[in-house]
Structure 1
Amino acid sequence: MSRRIIQVEEKVPFLQGVPLSFQHLFAMFGASVLVPTLFKIDPAIVLLMNGVGTLIYLFLCKGKAPAFLGSSFAFLSPVFVVLGADKAFWGANYPLALGGFIAAGLVFICVALIIWRFGPGWISIVLPPATMGPIVALIGLELASVATGMAGIMPDPKTGAVDANAVIVSMVTLLTVAFGSVLFRGFMAVIPVLIGILAGYLTAMGLGMVSFAAVAAAPLLATPTFYAPVFDLNAVLVILPAALVVISEHIGHLVVTGNIVERDLTRDPGLHRSLMGDGVSTVLSGFMGSVPTTTYGENIGVMAITRVYSVWVIGGAAVLSIALAFVGTLSAFIQSIPAPVMGGVCILLFGVIAASGIRMLVEAKVDYSKPVNLTLTAITFIVGISGAAIQIGNVQLKGMALATVVGMGLSIVFRLLEKSGLTSEKTDL
């Protein structure tokens, strides 16, 4: 018998909802706090605004699109330019970046309004299944090295050595989640990720990889640090191109989420509402001193594995994120989880996202005897995984984002050629 699906609008009992929400919190935590750590700002403000932004997103999407908004990595390069080479001035320059974040959020909102006005029908034209399938797969594939790096299974580039303890921890975590998702029954079947994290954490403790010094030193309660934005045209122009990357990523994430929950989320609640939620969240985050947000692949992977799609669970994770911003000891405890634990989880989570792209091609019955479909998929894949990049100001467009732009452009051109009757229908394969 197949495991029961907990649908998007379905509520879950409180005692089950808490561990389910913690499962999503653990999945997003490492990446979300890494961004503010790199910028040398208080991670608590990011946890607070990620939680607030997620609740805003769920509200604007009428509770129909399960997604968690976490810290966006697309803005790292331009922000480092704005912060400057001398880290001593990062604290003074960070407000300039906040002005750029607000401007980027306003771009999301403007694009959302355009989509609302003209409708989402263009998506099937600029992103047909032959293009969208590989784009979705690339979301997971381009994160593969991140997962294996965190897991510690990649040899050191200088010495060629591998940390045996890290490999043990990551493999215990990965195998617990993998086999748990297949073998667990009852309520355990919907929390294999959480169980895997606990198994990996206990293994790491046994190998002496966990330190509780930061937990002991952390205050029980703490107030997040707020930062005020400063608007500077040069800083805005440096940061603004990153909005294109996030919009491309957002469309891909919404499509793959819709594929998982088996609903067309681009139409109901609509891509315009989804982008609006992300835009409002990013603008508000900029005013409060936090970083831009984006829908998180880690949480999409959790939903795919557990088959729990409830927005109430996602909302619970958002509330936990808000609470965590004020509880110093709990935040320090979660930060004590070794990277190999989350790396082991992410190997499966990111792989599930990649598989969702292949599933999209299969379910759409893409006919690869047609040269148009074959060419779209082939070029999109190669552009995405080849390392090819285009520089736009201080933002580098590469990977899935570049593949999205190239795939959309080719799809439009091929559509026009098809309408003109200039394309062949079959190829000798």
Structure 2
Amino acid sequence: MESRRIIQVEEKVPFKLLFPLSVQHMFAMFGATVLVPFLFGINPAIVLFMNGLGTLLFILITKGKAPAYLGSSFAFLAPAGIVISEMGYQYALGGFVAVGFLGCILAGVIYKFGSDWIDVVLPPAAMGPVVALIGLELSGSAASNAGMLDENISSQNVIVFLVTLGVAVFGSVVFRKFLSVIPILIAVIAGYVAAICCGIVDFTEVAAAPILALPNFQTPKFSAQAILIILPVILVITSEHIGHQVVTSKIVGRDLLKDPGLHRTLFGDNFSTMLSGLIGSVPTTTYGENIGVMAVTRVYSVRVIGGAAVLSIICSFVGKLSALIQTIPGPVIGGISFLLYGMIGASGIRILVDSQVDYGKSKNLIMTSVIFVTGLSGITVKFGNIQLTGMVLACVVGMLLGLIFYLLEKFHLTNDQE
């Protein structure tokens, strides 16, 4: 680590680096991934277990070529909330299984017919802003977690937020040697210490937690009505998955849609969601927070991701350790997310730059403009109990424009050809 070089996907990492780098990835995903089980009213231990197991399965299915951490998916919140309130959580689990199964079938279709269609419906002028929106639309949640959007902003929250963000930002720039690859971990520790000093950390739950505890496993129940309510989410999670794979490809410098292939990554993602539903956990998805960690640290090794997955599984069985991690306050998570989400947004701009998108062409200018406005405007389109908004709606609009512009070019109807 004399110079801050890139650690590539397949590289081995010595244990003295592996452990802190893995802890860094686990902390990055933790705040968002435990929020979903809290909203569903279940113990987060089962989610930590499945996120770790799902990540290990994803690495196996993708032959260790796609670095990604699988955390709790927010796309299911609205429809699953309806099912839980009307029928109970076990029927929502049945819906999760159905969505995961359909996603696995979709992966098989992509394996049969390929993924070249993505270049047609999402050219760089569309893919760049779609990827940027992944980070930009999450920026509000980072500020909300930090307490910066509260009506009365707490001075303690501001201090902890600024300490965490400041260490992450300046550490990424000035840290050298070993410290240069763990700025996120150092920022989390610094923010946590600041939170303790400010008196906003409560250790009551840690003292009451058992030393060892089994996750609360459950089995699903199936109802056609519950499945139909949740099933349309497949459109949302597929769009999100493609965007994550594109931005990860840009970060690691490899086309993951070709090798290991979109069919493998999509299958691994949805197989994990299906398995989650079978054992009582929440659906999983590749996590933007961990993509941001890779962008900051330039460490892409799947062994590090796998190490974080193993740690997550261990935490699910150690009650006190899980409870201790849950004491990390919102301003710390928000401070870290503030930087990580911004890195994803910057990766979208990088796609436009690297692809040398020509904005002298009307179609490129129009496509980028419409996608950005659609994603940031707050417009919501509803189909029954499912709603499209933000990045997902922008992705759908971008795909429609991309297909229409492609056909117009084929028939020589665009003025760009003059």
TM-score normalised by length of structure 2? 0.98
* Partner amino acid, structure 2, of 1:129: P
Asked if the contact 2:62–2:264 (Cα under 8 Å) also holds between the matched residues in 1, the reply is yes
Q: Distance in 2 between matches of 1:195 and 1:169?
A: 14
Q: Distance in 2 between matches of 1:410 and 1:43?
A: 41
Q: Distance in 1 between matches of 2:337 and 2:329?
A: 13
Asked if the contact 1:254–1:265 (Cα under 8 Å) also holds between the matched residues in 2, the reply is yes
Asked if the contact 2:3–2:177 (Cα under 8 Å) also holds between the matched residues in 1, the reply is no
Alignment of 1:191-270 (within 5 A): 191-270=182-261
User: How has the CA–CA distance of structure 1 residues 11 and 238 changed in structure 2, closer, same or farther, with 3 Å as cutoff?
Assistant: same
Q: Distance in 2 between matches of 1:77 and 1:113?
A: 28
* Partner amino acid, structure 2, of 1:71: S
Q: Distance in 1 between matches of 2:97 and 2:362?
A: 43
Tell me the CA shift for residue 3 of structure 1.
2.1
Q: Distance in 1 between matches of 2:19 and 2:32?
A: 21
What secondary structure sits across from 1:114 in the alignment?
Answer: helix
Report what 2:133 is aligned to: 138
Alignment of 1:57-72 (within 5 A): 57-72=58-73
Report what 1:20 is aligned to: 21
Alignment equivalent of 1:149, drawn from 140, 144, 148: 144
Q: Distance in 2 between matches of 1:295 and 1:222?
A: 27
Report what 1:272 is aligned to: 263
Asked if the contact 2:9–2:65 (Cα under 8 Å) also holds between the matched residues in 1, the reply is yes
Report what 2:112 is aligned to: 117
Q: Distance in 1 between matches of 2:123 and 2:3?
A: 31
Alignment equivalent of 2:89, drawn from 94, 98, 101: 94
Asked if the contact 1:371–1:426 (Cα under 8 Å) also holds between the matched residues in 2, the reply is no
Report what 2:285 is aligned to: 294
* Partner amino acid, structure 2, of 1:260: I
Deviation string 1:312-342 (CA, Å, 9 cap, x unpaired) is: 0000000011111000011011000110001
Q: Distance in 2 between matches of 1:72 and 1:111?
A: 18
Q: Distance in 2 between matches of 1:171 and 1:222?
A: 35
Deviation string 1:176-215 (CA, Å, 9 cap, x unpaired) is: 0100000001110000000000000001111111111111
Q: Distance in 2 between matches of 1:142 and 1:307?
A: 24
Alignment equivalent of 2:154, drawn from 153, 163, 166: 163
Alignment size in residue pairs: 417
Tell me the CA shift for residue 154 of structure 1.
2.4
Q: Distance in 2 between matches of 1:115 and 1:426?
A: 32
TM-score normalised by length of structure 1? 0.96
Identical residues among aligned pairs (%): 60
Tell me the CA shift for residue 106 of structure 1.
1.1
Q: Distance in 2 between matches of 1:144 and 1:366?
A: 26
Q: Distance in 1 between matches of 2:120 and 2:372?
A: 19
Q: Distance in 2 between matches of 1:378 and 1:146?
A: 24
Q: Distance in 2 between matches of 1:380 and 1:333?
A: 41
Q: Distance in 1 between matches of 2:35 and 2:399?
A: 31
Tell me the CA shift for residue 424 of structure 1.
1.1
What secondary structure sits across from 1:369 in the alignment?
Answer: coil
What secondary structure sits across from 2:217 in the alignment?
Answer: coil
Q: Are 1:315 and 2:306 matched, yes or no?
A: yes
Alignment of 1:370-381 (within 5 A): 370-381=361-372
Q: Structure 1: state its 5+ residue gaps.
A: 86-91
Deviation string 1:325-369 (CA, Å, 9 cap, x unpaired) is: 000011011000110001000000000000000011000000000
Q: Are 1:356 and 2:347 matched, yes or no?
A: yes
Q: Are 1:180 and 2:181 matched, yes or no?
A: no
What secondary structure sits across from 1:182 in the alignment?
Answer: helix
Q: Distance in 2 between matches of 1:393 and 1:105?
A: 20
Tell me the CA shift for residue 155 of structure 1.
4.3
Q: Structure 2: state its 5+ residue gaps.
A: none
Q: Distance in 2 between matches of 1:393 and 1:235?
A: 13
Asked if the contact 1:256–1:356 (Cα under 8 Å) also holds between the matched residues in 2, the reply is yes
Asked if the contact 1:226–1:288 (Cα under 8 Å) also holds between the matched residues in 2, the reply is yes
Root mean square deviation, CA, Å? 1.2
Alignment equivalent of 1:303, drawn from 289, 294, 301: 294
Tell me the CA shift for residue 2 of structure 1.
6.5
User: How has the CA–CA distance of structure 1 residues 287 and 155 changed in structure 2, closer, same or farther, with 3 Å as cutoff?
Assistant: closer
Q: Distance in 2 between matches of 1:152 and 1:70?
A: 23
Report what 2:30 is aligned to: 29
